[in-house]
Structure 1
Amino acid sequence: MATSAAPIVFPRYVFNDCQYVDGGLFANAPGQLGVHEAYKFFGVSRSEGDVRVLSVGTMSSKFTVNPKRNRSGGTLDWGGWWPVNAPKRLFGLSISAQEAMADHMLRHQFPGGKYVHVDDVLTDERAQAVALDKADAAAREVLLGSAAEAAKDFVGSAAFKEFMEYTAASPVYHYGPRANYRKRKFLVSCKNKIREHLRPAIEKVSTTTLGMDRQVTPRFRTQGSWAYETCVHPCTLPPQEIDWDYGVYLPITVWEENGPPIDMAQAYFALVEQLLKDLCKNEGWTLDTSKDTCIRINVAAWAHIDVPLYAASEEEFKKVTEVRLVEAAALRKGFANDSANFAEDAAFGDLVGQTWDEMEGIVLATRSGEWIPSDPNDVAKWFKDRVQEHGPQLLRVCRFLKAWRDYRWAEKGPTSVSIMIAVAQSFTPVSGRDDLALELAAHSLAKALLADIREPGIDNGEDDFNKRLSEKERLEASALAQALANSMREAREQNLVQAERAILILQGGYGRALSVLTQFGLKPAKARAGVRAFEGDLKTSTGEVPVRFEIEDWNFLRYPRITLLKRPAGTPKLLEHVDALGGLCYLAPGSVVLDRFEPDVAVHQCLLAAVDVLNRMTQGRTRDRDIADEFVAYWTVGQTPAAYPVLFDELESDAESAMYFLLDQPGQDRRALIARDIFAAQRIATGIEAEKVVKGAFTCFLFKSDKLPGAPADGLPATIKQFFAWVKQWDSELATAIQHRLGSDKTYLSRQGCVIAIATPAGRFGVVFLLDRMHRMGYEKNPKRYRHYLHNAGRDAAILRLQIDDIGPTYIHSRNLEYPSLAGKRLTLIGCGAIGGYLAQALVRLGAGTGKDGLLRLVDVGQLEPDNLGRHALGFPSLYQNKAVALRDELIRQFPYLEVEAQTDTSRLNDKFFATDLIIEATGEEALSSFVNAMHMAHRLGPVLYCSDGRVSRMPESLILRHPFHADAGILIEPSVLATLMLFRQTGATSPESGGILLGYRRGMHLHVSKMTTPQPGDTQHRYGFQRRAQQHQKIALEQWKAEHETMDYIGEWHTHPETEPTPSSIDKREWRKICHTKNEPMVFLIAGTRNVLWVGVGLGTALHGAVAQVNLETEKG
C-alpha cells in the first residue's frame, strides 16, 4: 500500500453529521494508520512477508533542539524563552517527533527493505521558502523540484520494481461497489419495497389468478450491471439514468410439455403490472408500460427499476440451495454491518450466489402474452468465468470503458453488454498496469465494433450483441475507441515532467473537457436538457469578462456558444463579434475544424480564440475595420430589436425608387418586398407561396454608395437624427443625396412612411420611418419644409432598421463563383429523363434562362412513368405528365423569373430550333444522337455535348513516364489511381495529409500502378503529417493479392502535401530509402499537391529520382 501527505492544513469538513479535521493534526506521518487499515478493512495477511509499505513524504525540516542549551526540557527549554516563537517551535518539534517515531516503528515492523520512505530533507536555504500551509510559487518550485529529483532516484531502484510488479486486490468499498452510496441505498430500498409488495400478493392469488394447483412463493434476483459488478454512475443526467434490473421468478406447478400454460403469461404480466401500479401510487413513482419484455418503474428523475417476469418449473427451484443472510454477508468480505442490506437476501426470497447456476428451462413472460426462452444468467455466468480467468482487472477495465461510453454518447452508443463481451473475448491482463490493459482493450474494442459481436459460449453465437449500431455508427464508435487507445498510448509516452499534459490527454480521451474549462475559470451551470453549460470570468489583457460557455454538439460540427454575461466596462453599445444577445463570434463558421476525438483540445481552441477576440475588443484597435467588413450582419443582429426582413427583387441598375409590398406567408412572420411593380411582386409571392400581397403605405427611395459603411461611435442609429448624423460621417455625398431627395421629391409625402434602401460594397440595408400625418399633409407641396421638420421637431422620431436580402437572378446565380454564369445564354436540352432532369436543375442554378435574351429550351416527347420516379428529379406530383412540361413548371416554381420553354414534338427540331449557344443531347438514343450530329455537321451550329448514363465527368488520362533506372522501361499509373489521388488533395485551409500504399505489377522492368489504399481507421492525420498504421493497409493488400491470383505486388507509397508543386521532404526521403533498402527492387513514390500536379519518384537502393508531372483531365463522352 502507499501513503502520502500534503504541505497544507485543510479546513474542517462536515459529512453525515460527522466532523473531520486534517490528518496532520493527529497523524502527520500516516504510515502506521495505513498498515492498520490494510489489516482491518482490506483483509491483508499479517504475515511478515506479505506486506510492503511505500511512504511518500512532502519534505521534512527535521526539527531538533540543542542538547547543550536544553538540558531540562519542557515548555521553556523546547519552546524557547521568546513567547512569540514558542508555539511554532513546539508544534514543529511535536510533528517531527511524530514523524521520526512512525518512521522508526515501520522500519522495525518491516525490516529487510519492505518499508520504503521517499522524501527529501530541507536545507536551511530551501526551508525559508517552504512551510506548513504554504503553497505559493516559491514553495511549489522547491517541492516540485525536490520531488522530481527524489523520484529519479527511486524509480531506478530495486524497491520501485517490487512495487510496480505487484497488483493490489480490488478493494471492497464501505459504501458499495463503485456507486454513489446514497443513490445505491435508495435504489436498494426501492427494490426491497417491490419485493415485499409482490411476494405475499402473488403468493395469495397464485391459485385463483394464475391457475396453480397450490400456492407458490416467487423469488427475486438483481441482474445486469449490478450483478456483474460493472455498474458506473451515468455521466449526463438526463437523458442517462441509473438502471436496476430486478427479476421476478415464479415456480410453476402445472408445467406442460413445452413450458408453462400459454394463457398464464398474459395473466402473470397483467397481475404484476397491476400490483406495481398500486405500489407506484403509494410511493409516488410512475409506471412505464411501453416495454414489451419488462415493467419499468421510474423511481426518481435519475433512476428506474426494470422488472422482467420469469418462470421455471417448480422442480428446478427444488435444486436451489438456500443461502442464508449470514452466509451471503460472509461472501462479501469487508462490508460494514449496515451494508448487509445491500446484499441479496435469501431469507426474503432473493436468489443469491451459486443457487443461480443450477436452474434450467427459464422462460420470460411478455406483455403480448408469450413465453420466450430467456436465461439472463447465460451472460452473467460466461462473464463471471472470464473474470475468474483474467482476474479483477477485467472488471475495472470494463467499468472504465462503460464510463468512457457514457461520456461519448449521452444516448445510444455501444451497449454495455457488447463492450463487456468484446473486451472479455480478447482481454490481455497486464499485472499492475491498468493503463496498459485499458489501452489494449480499447484497441481490441475498436476492431470488434466494426462487425457483429457474437459469443458461442453464451447462446451458440446466435445473438449479435452489436446489432443496435448501424454501419455508420459502427464506424464512428470504432474510430472513437481507437482514439481512446491512441490517447492512452500518447499519455503513457509522456515523460515525468509532463504529468499535467498526460492527465489532459487522458481527460480528452474520456470526453472530459471539464479540466480545460476549470483552468479558464469556468464552472458548471444549469442548462436545458442536452446542453452542458459553464459560467465564469475569462481573463483578458484589460480585466475579466463574465461569460457563459455552452456545448450542445459534442461532435463539434457546431462550435460551442459563448455568451457575454456582462459587456466589458467602457465599451460601446455596438461591439465587434458580438450579437444583440451577447453571443460572441470567436470563430468564423467553417474556418476551423475542431477534433471531435479530442474534445479537450477542441474546447481549449475555442477558449483561446474567444480570449483573443476579447483582447482585441477591449483594446478597441480593430473595431472600425471588423464592423465595416461584416457591416450588414451587425446592422441585422448587432442590437435589439433585430432588423425587419425585406426581400429585394432585381431592378434596373439606375432605378431611384421602387414599390414596397407586404407579404403574408402561412406559418411565418410578415415580411416586406421591394419590387418594380405589382406583377413582379405577385411572381415572387407565388414562388415563396405567400397567401397575400399588400401594397405597402410607404415610398421607397433607392441610393448607392461606393464606400464601406463606417462603424457608429457608440450604437446603431435608433432615431432620424442619429441616422442622418451617422450617414454624414460615413459618406457625405450619400448624405447630400438623401437630403436632396427628401427636400425635392414630394411623392413620399402622400404616403404614411418612407423607406431608404442603400446599396454598398458590404451589401444592402435600409431604414423606414413613419411620417407625421399633420405635418406631411401641411407640407405636401413643399417637401423642403418637411425635411426641415425632420431635422428639428421630428428628429427624435424612431427608425426601424431593415435587413434587405437580394433575391434577383443576377445576385442568386452569381453565388456560383467557381463556374462561369450562363445568364443571357440560349441553351437547348434534349432529353428530360433521369440525367436530363438533374442537368436542367444544375444549368438553372448556373444562370440558364436568366438575363437578357437568356433561354432554356427543354425537349422530350415522353411522360413520367412510375418506373422513372426512383431516379428522376421529379416526383409524384408530376406522374404521367410530359417530362419537359413538368420539368419546366417545377423549375419556374423554384425560380419564378426563369425563361423556360418546353418542346414535346421532335418533328419540329429544325435549323432555327438548333440556333442556340449550346445543345445538350441527354437521351442516349442512337438515332436522335445521329440526327443531332448530322444537323451540327451540316450547319455548323453551336457546340453539342452528348451525355448519357451519367458518364459526363472529368477523368484523368493515364500517366506514362520513363523509368529513371532502365532506359527501355516505363512507369504506367492508371486513371483510377490518379482520380483517387485528386480526391485527397489538401485543397482546404485545414485539410489533413492523406496517404497509403501503391499496388500493381512488375512486368519485367516495367512498373504498372493499378491500385492504391486510402486512409484507414487508426491512421494519424495532421495538416503537415501522415502516419500509416500498417495492419489495415496490409489487410487490403493481401485481399488484392489473393483476388489477382497472387500476381499483384506492393509497389510503392503515396501521400499528399499542402503545396501547389509538391516536393519530398528530408523525412520522406529517409523513410523511402528504408523501404528501398528492405525491398531491394524499384519502388514508386507519389506526392499529390493542391492542384493537378504530382511528384513522381522511383527509388532503388539509396538512389532516388523524381520529377513533377501534370495530371491531364479530359471530358469523357457517353
Structure 2
Amino acid sequence: MFTNTQQFAHDETSRKLLVSEHLFTLGFKREQDVVNVDGEGLKYCWAGSLSCLKGLLVIRISISDWNFICLPDVYIEPLNATWLTSLFPLPHIHPCTISVHGVEHYSLCYSLADANELPRSNPQKIINWVLNQAASIINHLSTNEKFRQLELLREIEPIWDSFYCYQAMRALITGNTLIESLHLTVRIENVPDKFIDIAPCHWICHDAQSGQTKEVKTETILVRVHSKKIPSLTWLFKTIGESQAQPYNRPTFEQFLKWLREWDKAAHYSLFQYIQAHWDQIQLRTLIFVCLRVDQALLPAIFFLPSSTSDGTVKAAKKDKYNEITMLIGQSINLNPNFVYSRNLTNMNMNNLSGLHIAIVGCGAIGGYLAGNIARLGAGTGDGALWLIDPDILGSHNIGRHFLGKNYIQKYKSEALKIELEQQLVGLNITAITGSVFSTYFPRLQEKLPKFDLIIDASGKMELSEALTEQWHKWLDQRPTMLHVWIQGNGECVQGLLVKHDTGMACRSCIRRSGFYNSEATLSPLGSNHETKHAFLACHDFTPYIVSASTSAASLATDMVMDWINSTPSPHYRTRYVERWHGHRVESQDVPTSINCPYCQLHSRAN
C-alpha cells in the first residue's frame, strides 16, 4: 500500500518535479520517451515494480496529461509474469500491445475515466492512488475466479471490440490486408429472445485501403446465449493477440463453434443445426454473418468461405470446410430498444416507460421537450404507445423556446415532433393527432384515452386543463392517471400536479389560479400581488419566458412520471423555483380535494 505525502503543486512544472521525485523514492526509473515519427507514443515514462499477491509485476507509468484530466497510463510487462499472462485475455487488460524498448506491453484499465475526482494539487497522492488501484485490479484478476467471470461478462463487448481493432492492425503489420482492411459494423434494432433467428440486418462496410464506406442489408444469424459463464477466449487471443512478430492467421469457424459449445450448448446446437440444415445454400455464399447476444452485449462475426467447395458429398463438405472457413470480428451498434431505453436506469432499481400507453396533450414549449425526455425513457416502445395531440402549427415565433427547429416551420407540431423523435430514436410507436383533444374529427380519442395509463397535460392553458379535468371525471372508474405541468408567471417557477383516481388528492381545478380563493390564498406559488408581464404579437398576446423555463417544466414532469411509474408519486403537487426568485414560495406537498371544486364535489355526490 502506497501512503500519501502532503506537498502541493499549483502548476505543471511543479507537478512534474514532485511526480519525478516521488516515483524515484518508490523505486521507479525515468526512461527515454518512446515516440514515432509523428511524435506520438509514451512520454514521461517511468519503469518499476508493482507488488502483487502472486509476485512482482514490472510496469511502466506514462503521463501524457499533466493537468490530470486524463488518468496516467499503466502498462504491464508480460515477461516473468506467467501467473498472469496464462489467464489472458482478461477484462481490464487490453489485448493490443505497445512495444517499449523492444518488449511488448499490455495496457491496464485500472479505473473508470470519470469515476474519481483527482487532487490535482497533490500529484503524489494521485500516483499512490494509481498504483494502489492497479495492484487491486491485478490481485482480483489473478486470484478471484468469480471476479474474473463477472468482469468478463460485463466487459465482453469492449473486449470483443478491442479484438476487432487489433485484428486490423495485426493484418496491416504482417501484410494480410485484403480482407482485414474491411471494417464491418452491424446495426441491430431488434434482437429476438429465441435461441436462433434469421433477420435482415444493416452492415456498414468500411474499406480502409480505398477509404470507401457502404451499407448493405443482409441476412444475419442471430444467436441468443443464455449462459453467463463465458469460457476462456485464449483461442482468439492466441490467434489475434499474439506477438506482432508472429505470422497472422485468422481464427476458424471450427474454433468458434468449439468455444460456443463450451459456453452454451443450446446456443451451439441451434447454430450448428442451422448450418447443417442449410449448408447447400450456405456453401454458395462468400460470407456468413453471425451475431451472438449475451444479456445486452452484441458480438458480431463474419465468416469467409473458401472460394471453391469440396467435390465430395454435402456431409463431407460440411466437415471439411469448418476449419477452412475463417473468421473476422465485427463491431456492433446496439439499437435494441430494451438496451437504449434501460441503460440509464441500470443499477437504479427503476422501471422505464416501455409498454405503457401515454398521451401528451400540447406539443408546444413544454410538450416538445417532455416528449423527447419520456421517449428516451421508453415511452412508445414495446407494446406501448405514445400519442402526441396538438392542433397548432409551428411558427418562426415558436422556435426560440421549442424542441423543434426551423426545418419544421409551418408543419403541425404533433406531426413534426413525431418525425423528429423517430429520426433520433428507435422502436417508437407514435401517433400524431393534429386536432384538439376534444375534436369530433378524432372520435377514437374519447374512446381510447380512458384506457391509457397516463395523460400528460402540457398545454399550459388553464381553460384546457379544466376541460380535461371535467372530461376525466366523466370517465369514472376507467380514469387513467393525469399529470398537469405548467410554467408560472414569466418562468419564476414551474409546477406539476399528479392526479390519480380514488386517492383523495386535488385535481387541477382544485388548485386553479382564479375563482376559488381558499386554495388560491395558500397555494399561489408567487403570491397574490405578483404581476405577470405579457407581450403582444400581431393579433394575440403571449407570456415571455426564457427557454430554461420550458426545459425546467419538462424536467419536473419527467421526474414526476418516473416517480409515478416507480410507485413513489408523493408529493403530488410540486413547485420548482429559479434561484433569482426571493418572493413568496409554496412547498411541494400533497393537497387534498378542495370543497370548492365543482368537479370533485359533483363526482363525490354522484358516487
8 Å CA contact 2:91, 2:155 repeated in 1: no
In the TM superposition, residue 656 of structure 1 has moved relative to its aligned partner by 2.7
Question: Structure 1 CA distance, aligned partners of 2:376 and 2:92?
Answer: 32
> 47, 57, 62: which is aligned to 1:549?
62
In the TM superposition, residue 700 of structure 1 has moved relative to its aligned partner by 2.3
Aligned pairs (5 A) from 1:756-835: 756-761=290-295, 763-775=297-309, 782=314, 784-790=315-321, 794-795=322-323, 797-817=325-345, 818=348, 819-835=350-366
Match of 2:193 in 1: 653
In the TM superposition, residue 824 of structure 1 has moved relative to its aligned partner by 2.5
Match of 2:572 in 1: none
8 Å CA contact 1:532, 1:552 repeated in 2: no
1:630 to 2:155 alignment: yes
Question: Structure 1 CA distance, aligned partners of 2:167 and 2:64?
Answer: 26
Match of 1:912 in 2: 447
Match of 2:45 in 1: 534
Question: Structure 1 CA distance, aligned partners of 2:591 and 2:59?
Answer: 58
Aligned pairs (5 A) from 1:903-1052: 903-906=433-436, 907-908=439-440, 911-912=446-447, 914-915=449-450, 916-940=452-476, 941-949=479-487, 951-952=494-495
Match of 1:870 in 2: 400
Aligned pairs (5 A) from 1:598-637: 598-615=122-139, 623=148, 626-637=151-162
Aligned pairs (5 A) from 1:431-446: none
Question: Structure 2 CA distance, aligned partners of 1:584 and 1:942?
Answer: 53
8 Å CA contact 1:655, 1:702 repeated in 2: yes
Match of 2:223 in 1: 702
1:843 to 2:374 alignment: yes
1:895 to 2:434 alignment: no
Change (3 A) 1:565 1:548: farther
Matched position secondary structure for 2:343: coil
Answer 1 or 2: higher relative contact order, Cα 8 Å, separation at least 6. Answer: 2
Question: Structure 2 CA distance, aligned partners of 1:769 and 1:709?
Answer: 21
The structure with the largest helix share of the pair is 1
Amino acid at match of 1:744: A
Question: Structure 1 CA distance, aligned partners of 2:163 and 2:40?
Answer: 28
8 Å CA contact 2:50, 2:131 repeated in 1: no
8 Å CA contact 1:562, 1:584 repeated in 2: yes
Change (3 A) 1:623 1:644: farther
Amino acid at match of 2:156: F
Question: Structure 1 CA distance, aligned partners of 2:392 and 2:213?
Answer: 34
Change (3 A) 1:710 1:519: farther
8 Å CA contact 1:628, 1:709 repeated in 2: yes
Change (3 A) 1:762 1:810: closer
Match of 1:738 in 2: 271
1:715-758 deviations in Å (ceiling 9; x for gaps): 43622333233233333444344333322233433422223322
8 Å CA contact 1:824, 1:855 repeated in 2: yes
Aligned pairs (5 A) from 1:282-321: none
In the TM superposition, residue 669 of structure 1 has moved relative to its aligned partner by 6.8
Matched position secondary structure for 1:832: coil
1:95-148 deviations in Å (ceiling 9; x for gaps): xxxxxxxxxxxxxxxxxxxxxxxxxxxxxxxxxxxxxxxxxxxxxxxxxxxxxx
In the TM superposition, residue 948 of structure 1 has moved relative to its aligned partner by 0.8
Q: Which has the larger radius of gyration?
A: 1
1:49-104 deviations in Å (ceiling 9; x for gaps): xxxxxxxxxxxxxxxxxxxxxxxxxxxxxxxxxxxxxxxxxxxxxxxxxxxxxxxx
Change (3 A) 1:715 1:750: closer
Amino acid at match of 2:293: A
Number of aligned pairs? 437
Match of 1:726 in 2: 259
Change (3 A) 1:862 1:532: farther
Question: Structure 1 CA distance, aligned partners of 2:432 and 2:311?
Answer: 53
In the TM superposition, residue 778 of structure 1 has moved relative to its aligned partner by 6.1
Change (3 A) 1:608 1:522: farther
Match of 1:53 in 2: none
1:1011-1042 deviations in Å (ceiling 9; x for gaps): xxx9xxxxxxxxxxxxxxxxxxxxxxxxxxxx
In the TM superposition, residue 857 of structure 1 has moved relative to its aligned partner by 1.5
Amino acid at match of 1:738: L
Match of 1:516 in 2: 22
Percent identity (aligned) = 22
In the TM superposition, residue 891 of structure 1 has moved relative to its aligned partner by 0.7
In the TM superposition, residue 846 of structure 1 has moved relative to its aligned partner by 1.6
Change (3 A) 1:802 1:1115: farther
Question: Structure 1 CA distance, aligned partners of 2:432 and 2:409?
Answer: 17
Question: Structure 1 CA distance, aligned partners of 2:40 and 2:287?
Answer: 45
In the TM superposition, residue 763 of structure 1 has moved relative to its aligned partner by 2.6
Question: Structure 1 CA distance, aligned partners of 2:196 and 2:61?
Answer: 46
8 Å CA contact 1:657, 1:700 repeated in 2: yes
Question: Structure 1 CA distance, aligned partners of 2:393 and 2:8?
Answer: 62
Question: Structure 2 CA distance, aligned partners of 1:935 and 1:593?
Answer: 53
> 73, 85, 106: which is aligned to 1:561?
73
8 Å CA contact 1:632, 1:762 repeated in 2: no
Matched position secondary structure for 2:455: strand
Question: Structure 1 CA distance, aligned partners of 2:66 and 2:388?
Answer: 45
Match of 1:272 in 2: none
Match of 2:389 in 1: 859
In the TM superposition, residue 774 of structure 1 has moved relative to its aligned partner by 2.8
Question: Structure 2 CA distance, aligned partners of 1:588 and 1:559?
Answer: 9
8 Å CA contact 1:767, 1:801 repeated in 2: yes
8 Å CA contact 2:359, 2:389 repeated in 1: yes
8 Å CA contact 1:863, 1:881 repeated in 2: yes
8 Å CA contact 2:223, 2:291 repeated in 1: yes
Amino acid at match of 2:231: G
8 Å CA contact 2:379, 2:386 repeated in 1: yes
Question: Structure 2 CA distance, aligned partners of 1:613 and 1:567?
Answer: 19
Amino acid at match of 1:561: D
Question: Structure 2 CA distance, aligned partners of 1:754 and 1:914?
Answer: 47
Amino acid at match of 1:830: V
8 Å CA contact 1:951, 1:1116 repeated in 2: no
Matched position secondary structure for 1:583: strand
In the TM superposition, residue 926 of structure 1 has moved relative to its aligned partner by 2.0
Question: Structure 2 CA distance, aligned partners of 1:953 and 1:529?
Answer: 54
Matched position secondary structure for 1:586: coil
Amino acid at match of 2:485: C
Question: Structure 1 CA distance, aligned partners of 2:193 and 2:310?
Answer: 30
In the TM superposition, residue 841 of structure 1 has moved relative to its aligned partner by 0.5
User: What TM-score results when the alignment is normalised by the length of structure 1?
Assistant: 0.35
8 Å CA contact 1:661, 1:693 repeated in 2: no
1:826-850 deviations in Å (ceiling 9; x for gaps): 2221111111111100111121122
Change (3 A) 1:892 1:1115: farther
User: What TM-score results when the alignment is normalised by the length of structure 2?
Assistant: 0.62
In the TM superposition, residue 600 of structure 1 has moved relative to its aligned partner by 2.4
Question: Structure 2 CA distance, aligned partners of 1:543 and 1:625?
Answer: 25
8 Å CA contact 2:368, 2:402 repeated in 1: yes
8 Å CA contact 2:341, 2:352 repeated in 1: yes
1:476-532 deviations in Å (ceiling 9; x for gaps): xxxxxxxxxxxxxxxxxxxxxxxx976x52457843433233334042653659996
